[in-house]
Amino acid sequence: MRSNMWGLFILVALSLWSEGQAFTKNPILSRIRRAPEADGETKKCSYTFLVPEQKITGPICAARGYSTDKDRVTRLDVASVRDLLSKQRREMETLKLVVDVDGNLVNEMKLLRKESRNMNSRVTQLYMQLLHEIIRKRDNSLELAQLETRILNATAESLRLASRYRELEAKYAALSAVVNNQSVLIGALEERCMQVYSRGHEQAPLGPPLVQVVPENIPVSVPRFTNEIQTDNSRGFARERGSRSGPPPTRGTLEVQKSERNFSTEGPFRDCLQAQDAGHITSGMYLIRPDEAERPLQVWCEQDIDNGGWTVIQRRKDGSVNFFRNWENYKSGFGNIDGEYWLGLEGIYNLGRPGDYKLLVELQDWMDKKVYAQYSSFHLEPESEGYRLRLGTYQGNAGDSLSSHNGKQFTTLDRDKDAFSGNCAHFHKGGWWYNACGQVNLNGVWYTGGVYRSKFQDGMFWADYGGGFYSMKAVRMMIRPID
């Protein structure tokens, strides 16, 4: 703004200087300053007036004698000078207005330049944001493409597994059909063998004697009432978990709580009670290694009944595993830990070797009623003694059907160690501590519905609960150190 003022001052000074030049060059004013001489005659001035150049109101020099109009200053000359000054003044005002307008325009231009810089900065910022968003969306599109690829791969793998699963289901159905029909097939073979044998002998060998025990409880005739395991003595033994002292289990203590599958990577432990003492209070799969055992075993630990600490050595529940096996299978064990399985005679022998374990047998009929039989002590003798069974005293509500097998060796299809003339494992379709043949077989055929029809008592029966022709829905054999 200061530069504009200086420019205005310079313009005014130049204007005034031009006025002065014009005034001095004016012939009328020139005639005023010099003494007029006309026609060689000497003119004398009677009066001489000195007035400012810009305020001429009359003649500056008047002569008495003759003077021509050429040497005189008239009012018209003064008027022309005034018009010139007025014109110059108007031009100066016009220039001032122009300067003011130009100054405003300059200020507006400065504001516009500032706004333009701000707009450029904002546009640059928006451009960077847009570029960042484009890059992010491109990365997202790449991740989405990778995810879609993984989903397609997983879908293809799922389809492949589903196809494989259907194939396995078909094979399982075929195997189940074979297992379910094995009694018929074996019966036919027995008939043929008996026919061949009868050619050289007058009398064919008979099958084992049927169980003649009349059970106190017949599950098929029991009406559908509330499960007595849930109603009797349900509050009688609210002991803290881990305690090894207290009264024996009753019907209320055998109710199994539903729990999610659990597998502990810790261990191995001596048994399930040691796992419980280490803080593992959830039922599930654990690694145990009994004393002097060559390798650890994977077992199911039941921590939800009778204060926990039970090691499950046998479980039947759906007929998914075939128990009609040879000696080596029963020795090493077979089945699925979270389903049906047999721990193995060698593992049971190593686990109960000290002789301070007790046995709990849990039975469930097809009315979903549960009963139990508990024996105060349990252990097996070594393989050289045929894994002979040793039991203590009985208590429970299922009836004492296992005591008649106490002291008996284990018999399989290929190793006959029972007291019967034939092979009890052959007739009862499973390995067990048979007598001749006995009151119990929990490793027999799993028949659906309970009551079954067979020539021999080859179901999964407990004679004192249901009789010899009633196959249980589910059974479990568990051991735990004596309190």
CA dist., res. 14 & res. 26, Å (int): 18
State how beta strands 440-441 and 370-380 pair: unpaired
Which position has the higher pLDDT, 78 or 22? 78
CA dist., res. 255 & res. 236, Å (int): 13
Q: Tens of pLDDT along 42-64?
A: 555 455 555 455 555 555 554 45
Cis peptide before 301 (omega within 30 of 0): no
Which has the minimum average pLDDT: 32-36, 295-299, 445-449? Answer: 32-36
Q: What is the pLDDT of residue 236?
A: 33
Q: Tens of pLDDT along 380-389?
A: 999 999 999 9
Q: What is the pLDDT of residue 48?
A: 55
User: If residue 301 lies in a helix (H) or strand (E), which one and from where to where?
Assistant: strand 297-302
Which position has the higher pLDDT, 184 or 410? 410
User: If residue 347 lies in a helix (H) or strand (E), which one and from where to where?
Assistant: helix 345-351
Which has the minimum average pLDDT: 56-65, 117-126, 331-340, 420-429? Answer: 56-65
Q: What is the pLDDT of residue 256?
A: 38
Q: Tens of pLDDT along 351-366?
A: 887 668 999 999 999 9
Nearest to 185 by CA among 433, 466, 426, 392: 426
Question: Is residue 33 helix, strand or coil?
Answer: helix
Q: Tell me what the mean pLDDT of segment 19-26 comes to.
A: 52
The token duo for 261 is: 């599958």
Q: What is the pLDDT of residue 263?
A: 59
Percentage of residues in the chain having pLDDT higher than 70: 67
